Structure 1
Amino acid sequence: MAPGSSSRQQATLLASVLVLLKIAGLPGLLGGYYGSGGGNAGGWSQAHATYYGGSDASGTNDGACGYGNQISAYGTLTTALSAPLFNGGDTCGACFELKCASDGCLAGQPSIVVTATNLCPQGSNGGWCDSPKQHFDLAQPAFGQIAQIQYGHVPLLFRRVSCDRSGGMHFQINGHQFFNLVLVTNVGGAGDVQSVEVKGSSSGWRKMERNWGQNWQDGGNLCGQSLSFRVTTSDGRSITSYDVAPADWQFSQTFAGGQF
């Protein structure tokens, strides 16, 4: 036998075994979906899901992201996130693809894409939303598209995906003369806004501060000026929407800008 042939044979045998294990679908051994730390294979991670809000999803409105009427903004495919996923509101507006992973799944294991619009607080659903758990508390119509409602709770696989939006980003201007509160919605791409800047037609660019959720504030007097906004999302991409609000804009009005 040639020198080293035994080692080469052992290496070949080991490689064959690993291929067979992968084909057999043993993710625990190969660090797949359920590897240490929750696992991540092919972009999917492990979590659980429950639902809230009733069959018409009306109970999901006025959540922690500040969207108000979430059904009007994002329909019924929305979710509240446990604190580790919510990240203090930074994840508001992000999109996730979800699919049921065990008992209670609908036939064919369909997947859905949902928008993060709310926080699932600590102690909710028997502790499923407690840190450090990754948990999705779905609007009931969303839950019903991947699992049987009577189960109420199912294991889940999830991954971040791009948000597919049309009609431009929406800027709703609230507040009063020296307190401008701008709600940013309908954001495509990464979806979660990380910074907002505002510019009046007679003033320079100013960085706005996050007030709560996706409400951004500025303390200047912007009345009587046309307004431009620069929005940056969590992936570092920015879009500048010039003069989206005309000089005669009024508080409570909403204007559409560019789109990722």
Structure 2
Amino acid sequence: MYNLKNLYTTYSNTEGACGYGDVFQKGYGVETAALSTPLFNDGLTCGACYELKCVNDATWKGCYQNAPTIQITATNLCPPHSTGGWCDPPARHFDLTMPMFVKLAPAVAGVVHVSYRRVRCGKQGGVKFEITGNPNWNLVLVYNVGGAGDVNNVRVKGSNTGWIQMQRNWGQKWDTKGVDLRGQALTFQVVTSDGAFKVFRDVAPASWQFGQTFDGKINF
């Protein structure tokens, strides 16, 4: 498993493969990474957190002596054939922002070995829900998720409906089709990959509009 240093100099102006868009605006900052295809898992890993430790060995050196471990959130895909082959399957690769890479090794190192493990995500504030789409197609980005970090199920309930199962559209964007939820207060149920779930009651008031973001007030 490897790190490369400069993904977001190239990809920061797009929504990214997780749908987060501007990771600074979303509160993730520079403590982020794009994952190679096997780790990215078709977007199911979006929002997961990892602890990385730089490792010098007999064949590959470059880490600072006594470099600290760092923690990152998975917020993008490192596309195959985009970084000299480091992100090509079956490689398990983390493409870091420069500020995170230089915590582990000098920028000139370019690529270093790391050991890694999944860790719980510690996020400030509540889970966030960004609502876009149109009257017949509601698209909700779920982000700033603590605990396991990666969401694998979302349901929504309007003040005049029962629970409606949402489908993962891509990354951490979830949709409903053919249901007009306008004029209703919205409650969400979110389940993370470790099976933990929470209900976020009346997150959006009945007056909500497309393009708005709402704070769920609680987190995992």
TM-score by length of 2: 0.93
Report the AA paired with residue 131 of structure 1: P
Q: Which sections of structure 2, spanning at least 5 residues, go unmatched?
A: none
Paired letter, 1:85: L
| Root-mean-square deviation (Å) | 1.3
Identify which of 6, 9, 12 aligns with 1:60. 12
Higher alpha-carbon deviation: 138-147 or 167-176: 138-147
Distance of 2:116 and 2:24 partners within structure 1? 22
Displacement of 1:59 in angstroms is 4.1
Tell me the number of residue pairs that the alignment of Structure 1 and Structure 2 aligns: 212
Indicate the SS of the match to 1:88.
helix
Could you tell me how far 1:106 is from its partner in structure 2? 2.1
1:58: how far off?
7.7
User: Does residue 181 of structure 2 align to residue 244 of structure 1?
Assistant: no
**Contact 1:52–1:60, Cα closer than 8 Å, also in 2:** no
Contact 1:164/1:189, CA 8 A, preserved across alignment: yes
Determine the C-alpha separation between the residues in 1 that align with 2:87 and 2:41.
13
Equivalences for residues 23-38 of structure 1 within 5 A: none
Query: Which amino acid is the alignment partner of residue 67 of structure 1?
Result: Y
Identify the residue that residue 115 of structure 2 maps to in structure 1: 157
Structure 2: how far apart are the matches of 1:159 and 1:110?
A: 14
- Per the alignment, in what secondary structure is the counterpart of residue 87 of structure 1? helix
Aligned to 2:69: 111
1:71 CA displacement:
1.9
2:213 match: 254
The gaps in structure 1 that reach 5 residues or longer are 1-46
Aligned pairs (5 A) from 1:1-260? 47-53=1-7, 59-61=11-13, 62-73=15-26, 74-102=28-56, 103-219=61-177, 220-257=179-216, 258-260=218-220
Amino acid at match of 1:89: G
Partners of 1:251 and 1:229 lie apart in 2 by 16
Which structure has more helix as a fraction of its residues? 1
Q: Taking structure 1 as reference, are residues 124 and 59 closer, same or farther at Cα in structure 2, changes over 3 Å only?
A: closer
Separation in 2 of the partners of 1:63 and 1:99? 25
Specify the code of the residue in structure 1 equivalent to 2:16: G
Give how far 1:60 is off: 3.0
Give, in angstroms, the shift of residue 168 of structure 1: 0.4
| Separation of aligned partners in 1, 2:138 and 2:149 | 22
Paired with 2:126 and 2:97, the residues of 1 have a C-alpha distance of: 25
Q: Distance in 1 between matches of 2:126 and 2:95?
A: 28
Structure with bigger gyration radius: 1
Percentage identity across aligned positions?
53
CA distance in 1, matches of 2:10, 2:42: 24
Conserved? CA contact 2:186–2:204, under 8 Å: yes
Partners of 2:154 and 2:105 lie apart in 1 by 37
Give every structure 1 segment of 4 or more consecutive aligned residues whose post-TM-superposition deviation is greater than 6 Å. Answer: none
Asked if structure 2 preserves the Cα contact closer than 8 Å seen for 1:52 and 1:59, the reply is no
Q: Decide which moves more: 135-144 or 191-200.
A: 135-144
